[in-house]
Amino acid sequence: MSNFLPSLETFAKGTLATAATLSTVGAGLLWYGQNYLIYPSAFPPGSRIEVPAPSDFGIPYQDLELRTPDGILIRCYLLPQRKSLHADHPEAVRVPYDDSESDDEFIASRPTVVMFHGNGGNLGHRIPLAKIIFMKMRCNVLMCSYRGYGLSEGSPSEKGIQIDSQTVLDYLTSDPNFNKTPIILYGQSIGGAVAIDLASRNPSKIGALILENTFTSLPSLVPHALPLLGPFSFLCHQKWDSASKIHLIPATTPILMLSGARDDLVPKAHMRALWEAVAKRGEKKTSGGKEYKVGLERAKYMEFKSGGHNDTCVQTGYWPAVADFVASLGTPVAPEKSNPDPKT
């Protein structure tokens, strides 16, 4: 027994040393390497140099290069509408227009959807989704490429992407055609956090939000997404704290929330928590002695029982819900019945 005790002591010391080392490595990885974990812009391999273009999918578009206030060049895709789109593209839904109006006037009469993508891949991988919005709903579309993604310059970070999204919005609001259109923010996963942040900082400029499988905040997501690093979630300096920003978005701003019940990356509890925050932002009014909320009727939550993190957008009913939501904003669109097969 006496010979065994030193062995136990040695084992205990070794275990403590290993735990201390792993803790130090874990903390260092989260603190210094979190940008690589959160923004894997080079995955799938080739995503930084191989960027599909809308023309690959038969969509007319414009390359849009925007220089941010801190000097970063971000390369986006702009898909402006035109009256005769259905003549050249049979899949495009025909919408009423005045023969006397110009294409610029037609652009100004249609909603503009700004797409903020998830943290993997590049904007080109989301073109099948943009095609539905552009062809079937006849919206103008601006696909944002964050810094450090696709062919955009720089390295991604929360502060940097906030600057990128603001630069995109400033472009639209300064353009003589797009500044007349209702601006709808469509964000998937971390793109939803980008949309919430942008709307919270520009409450009077955003017409509506469409949010899919996004989270309350990144620190609260770490224990689920990276269980081994859960104890160090307090070191996560990339916050994207959407839960604390929802109340800054006016109760009258329509919000559509789309959640995949089988999301294995962002637990559906995050979307439900955000929905509760959306419900609380309603303005309380009293009529006939009864208290009610104004604004909540313009928000909607939908859960798709078979939807995972990357395939909620191909679930039955997803695109009709988006089309109905856009139509409810005052612009008629035709529901899309088929599903795309995007690389998300």
Domain boundary assignment for the chain: 14-283+293-328
SS3 for 70?
A: coil
324 catalytic per annotation: no
Tokens 């690589």 identify what position? 36
- Which one of the listed residues 86, 89, 224, 309 is annotated catalytic? 309
Domain boundaries 14-283+293-328, corresponding CATH code: 3.40.50.1820
264 catalytic per annotation: no
Of residues 318, 52, 80, the one with CA closest to residue 188: 318
Of residues 37, 208, 41, the one with CA closest to residue 124: 41
> What is the C-alpha separation between 53 and 60, in angstroms, rounded?
10
Of residues 54, 190, 60, 195, the one with CA closest to residue 126: 54
263 catalytic per annotation: yes
- The model's pTM is 0.87
Q: What is the full per-residue pLDDT of the chain (344 aa) written as tens digits?
A: 444 344 444 333 333 333 333 344 445 555 567 898 899 999 999 999 999 999 999 999 999 999 999 999 999 999 999 999 999 999 999 998 888 999 999 999 999 999 999 999 999 999 999 999 999 999 999 999 999 999 999 999 999 999 999 999 999 999 999 999 999 999 999 999 999 999 999 999 999 999 999 999 999 998 887 776 667 777 899 999 999 999 999 999 999 999 999 999 999 999 999 999 998 887 666 666 666 555 567 899 999 999 999 999 999 999 999 999 999 998 655 544 445 544 33
- Which one of the listed residues 145, 157, 259, 263 is annotated catalytic? 263
- Which one of the listed residues 189, 217, 233, 259 is annotated catalytic? 189
C-alpha distances out from residue 62 to 75, 77, 79, 167, Å: 11, 6, 6, 17
